[in-house]
Amino acid sequence: MTDPFAELNAALPPHYIIDRELGRGGMALVYLARDTRHERFVALKTLRPEIAIALGRERFLREIKLAARLQHPNILPVYDSGDAGGTLYYVMPFVEGESLRDRLDREPQLPVDDALQIAHEVAEALAYAHEHDVVHRDIKPENIMLSGGHAIVADFGIARAVSAAGGDKLTQTGLAIGTPAYMPPEQASGSGQVDRRSDIYSLACVLYETLAGQPPFTGPTAQAIMARHSLDAVPRLKIVRDAIPDDLEVVIERALEKVPADRYQTSGEFAKALTAASTGTVSRVTAARRHSRVTPRWRRPVIVGIGLGGMALLGGAWLLFGRHGTAGAGGADALVPNRVAVLYFNDESRDSSLRYLADGFTEALIDQLSGIRALDVVSRGGVAPFRGRDVPRDSIARALGAGTLVEGSVEPVGTRARVTIRLVDGPSGADVGRRQSLELPIDAPLAIRDSLVSQAAILLRERLGGEVQLREQRAGTKSVEAWSLVQRAERLRKDGDAHPDVALALFTRADSVLGQAERADPKWVEPIILRGQLLDRRARMTRSLPTLEEGLGHATRALALAPEDARAIELRGTLRYRQWFLFRPADPRAAATLLDDARKDLERATTVDPNLASAFSTLSHLYYQTKDLQAAALAARRAYEEDAYLSNAADILTRLFFTSYDLDQQRQAQRWCQEGVRRFPRDYRFSQCQLYMMTRLESPDVPRAWGALARIDSLAPPPQRALQHLESQMLVAAIMARAGLRDSTHHVIERSRGTPEIDPEHDLVALEAFVRTLLGEQDEAIRLLQRYVAANPEHSFRVGGDIFWWWWDLQKHPGFQALAQPHS
């Protein structure tokens, strides 16, 4: 049996051996490991890649060392930390006891004395940490360990790094730091300062749960819970548990105030109040607070704050309530296509022998689709009542509030099982498109079944994306003629995407048809946006500035019709960025203004529609070009997460690959490259990424490299073929250099240099400098880099403050030190 932790064990220091996985959190994976050097078990945590990107390697390692100095009996210490082949990790004691969550699972309501002791000890730990400028940001039962009758707070190590990075920065990138059930309003909205008073609020939520049996605010979604923290009054504890002392309820209510200034200002003050509550000596001023509370005066300011700064987090709650709150009662018209119900697949075998396979496939598909944030997937329990029942499809859709149903069957075909999948329009009960069939051996191992489920999920997402687009377009116009013309234009556009040799002609025809649609319904913004997108495609192919300017004219007209349309805002931002990228103004000030306007448009588009994957993808490209690789990586991850219908998957995977490669996170880069090869075998970029991988992580396999180059030559579109051939051939030279083939490397370099017409940015010059570095020819590498900087004076050799890893071996060379100085 293969070791599932072999790769991680190989990367870790040899005295750590992973035994098993203990759990997964929002920021890290937790393993039980053996520390053979000290003959003990430890808890080893590895950061999730997106968290590692946001924090930065150097910052994380520096700050966690400082966190290791925190010494307090109620704080779980940090033993060790490091970088295991691009995976950041830290090591803590393995606590033999249990977490507070484990105890609450067994005993939902704790004795008052136990609850107070736990809260008091956690408050003392927080007071100590706050004195050392560390805010935890994620106090919850899972992070409070119980051992020897005492509470110990875990994960201060990562808290220190988050504080240093700026928690607001992480939140703005889309990473949720904190847990909704315990998150104070200022942390949920992203519009306020997260400080020690935020930890006090979270601890009060934990204390409330230990007494009441559930947190003060619950709800069906994270957005709904966070909205309740900001808008709802705290439910009275004594209604749930009459034995709670009045003084204790007063203390908890003060700690749960919406406005931080109205809470206890320090954890030490909160700890003293808890002690006073246990002895019945709460001050008169505090006790009088309950009687002075009328309609909460925080309600209006908090709503205003959310409206200004937190719509990306809380706006989704109102959207969900508006869409789904009446779905069941509103009839077929209220059903939305991204509310999906996967019905249990039928077992078509005669003896019901494939029932286990049908059920397993259904449940795995539900789990896969549930991970897509833009989809609202009915749970297994929701669809279970319809299992094996002959109920009309539209009736099931109305009962579940689902605009889309997924049906399927499993039937034996010899020694194999055929899985057939159907997408069904909920309101009408009609099939959408053709049925899809996949096959696997009946006795296939789980890995094969999981792969088949992934294929099925991809097929469904792509098909569902087309259906969602159709319904949205239908809703945008009352003109049958205009809608039909848009569908005709979209078919021409897709044909052009599929046939690059005739794409320009097809795009021109599509634009003409869209012009007719625009005249049929002048108030419908969709044809105008699509015309702008077509011109963007044409400009990329022809490198034509007038074409881009014409597209910007369409964007301006679209925004005049619909100023808050996210896709119209995105269109203008994309075209502005394309203009900067392809036709950068000679005046540096004008170029900077153009780029800044593009960035503002794209960021605004993602604020108006946080699910707009294509805008995140373009933002990632923009950040990448401006050398903000961490922001580029985070935007690419957001694009990947939000691309529910896989409409932009190839571009997003490319961005994820290059940001990971440049940040020297090679295992992640390898993952994205392999995913691209699997899903897009005819996209030349995923043959090229294999060459990049052989320049660093993978073995320099020269025959394989030449094979990849041949595929790139056959797959790259004609306008890019010459440059991509030379770039890929220079990468082959790099691979040969790593393989020790010096003479052959020089021959390939000579054949791989470009002309100003082919390589106006001199990228091949920089790539040759990298090859020369691999050969140990540092003086020649410096000479090439001097040429490159002369052509690109704004270039920086740094990534997030560190020298880009291509140039590590050059850092001590005097010529490089002069080149790498920040430009004034």
Q: CB under 8 Å, gap of 24 or more: what pairs does 326-333 form?
A: 327/401, 328/398, 328/399, 328/400, 328/401, 331/398, 332/394, 332/397, 332/398, 332/426, 332/427, 332/428, 333/427
| Residue the block writes with tokens 């930065």 | 56
Residues of the domain holding 150: 98-311
The DSSP line for 296-316 is -TTHHHHHHHHHHH-HHHHHH
The 10s digit of each residue's pLDDT in 567-578 is 999 999 999 999
Alpha helices in 256-310 (DSSP H): 267-279, 284-291, 299-309
Average pLDDT over residues 500-519: 90
Do 240 and 184 fall within a single domain?
A: yes
- Residue 688 confidence (pLDDT): 95
Q: What is the pLDDT of residue 470?
A: 58
Q: Which residue has the higher pLDDT, 441 or 74?
A: 74
Of 142, 151, 237, the closest CA to residue 182 belongs to 142
What values do phi and psi take at 310, rounded to 5?
A: -125, 20
Q: How confident is the model at residue 370 (pLDDT cuts 50, 70, 90)?
A: confident
- pLDDT above 70 (res 314): no
Residue 237 in contact with residue 254, Cβ under 8 Å? no
What is the distance between the alpha carbons of residues 273 and 585, in angstroms, rounded to a whole number? 63
User: What is the 8-class DSSP label of residue 414?
Assistant: T
What confidence tier does 455 reach under pLDDT thresholds 50, 70, 90? low
pLDDT surpassing 90 at residue 518:
yes
pLDDT at 210 > cutoff 70: yes
Closest CA to 525 of 571, 573, 468: 571
User: So what's the pLDDT on residue 487?
Assistant: 82
Query: Does 547 map to a domain?
Result: no
CATH number at residue 13: 3.30.200.20
- Residues 232, 119 share a domain: yes
192 or 350, which is more confident: 350
Q: Tell whether the model's pLDDT for residue 288 goes beyond 50.
A: no
Report d(CA 268, CA 127) in Å as an integer.
Answer: 6
**The CATH number of the domain where 176 resides is what?**
1.10.510.10
Residue 66 confidence (pLDDT): 75
**What CA–CA distance (Å, rounded) separates 343 from 409?**
10
In this prediction, residue 163 carries a pLDDT of 57
* 192/57 same-domain check: no
Same domain, yes or no, for 294 and 372? no
Let me know whether 265 and 386 are in one domain.
Answer: no
Residue 317 domain flag: no
Dihedrals phi, psi of 626, to nearest 5 degrees? -95, 15
Alpha carbon distance 654, 658 (integer Å): 6
Written as six digits, the tokens of 81 are 């930390």
pLDDT of residue 332: 42
Is residue 122 pLDDT above 50, yes or no? yes
Same domain for 192 and 136: yes
What are 736-778's pLDDT values in tens digits? 999 999 999 999 999 999 888 888 888 899 999 999 999 999 9
Tens of pLDDT, residues 235-280: 888 777 878 888 899 999 999 998 898 899 999 999 999 988 877 6
483: in domain = no
pLDDT at 469: 58
The rounded mean pLDDT for the chain is: 81
Distance CA 493, CA 504 (A): 10
Q: Which two tokens stand for residue 185?
A: 């309003």
pLDDT-derived band at 462 (thresholds 50, 70, 90) equals low
CA 636 remoteness from chain centre: 8
Predicted pLDDT of residue 292? 40
Residue with tokens 């995140």, as numbered in its chain: 616
Task: Copy the structure tokens of residue 376.
Answer: 């609202």
Residue 325: the pLDDT is 33
Residue 40: pLDDT over 70 = yes
**Domain boundary, last residue among 262, 277, 311:** 311
- In a domain, residue 787? The reply is no
User: How many domains, in total, are found in the chain?
Assistant: 3
Asked if residue 554 has pLDDT above 70, the reply is yes
- Mean pLDDT score, 57-63: 81
Are 505 and 455 a contacting pair, CB within 8 Å? no
The full DSSP string for 82-143 is: EEETTEEEEEEE--SSEEHHHHHHH-SS--HHHHHHHHHHHHHHHHHHHHTT---S---GGG
Type of residue found at 379: S
Residue 281 has pLDDT above 80, yes or no: no
Averaged pLDDT, 435-444: 74
Q: What is the mean pLDDT of residues 588-595?
A: 92
pLDDT band at 730 (very low <50, low <70, confident <90, very high): very high
Residue 300 has pLDDT above 70, yes or no: no
419-431 pLDDT tens trace = 888 888 777 777 7
At which of 417, 449, 475 does a domain end? 475
Q: What is the pTM of this model?
A: 0.52
DSSP 24: E
pLDDT at 472 over 80: no
Q: Are 428 and 335 in contact, with CB atoms under 8 Å apart?
A: no
Q: Do residues 47 and 165 lie in contact, with contact meaning Cβ atoms separated by under 8 Å? A: no
Out of 475, 507, 531, pick the residue that ends a domain. Answer: 475
Selection from 40, 56, 14, 135 nearest residue 95 by Cα: 40
**From CA 136, how far away is CA 157, in angstroms rounded?**
9
Same domain, residue pair 156 and 291: yes
Beta bridge partners of 788: none
DSSP 462: H
Burial class of residue 322 in the structure, from the number of CB atoms within 10 Å of its CB (0-12 exposed, 13-18 middle, 19+ buried): exposed
With respect to residue 238, please indicate whether it lies within any of the assigned structural domains: yes
| pLDDT reading at 168 higher than 50 | no
Residue 192 in domain: yes
Task: Check if the beta carbon of residue 108 is closer than 8 Å to that of residue 213.
Answer: yes
Same-domain status, 83 and 103: no
Which H/E stretch holds residue 398? helix 393-400
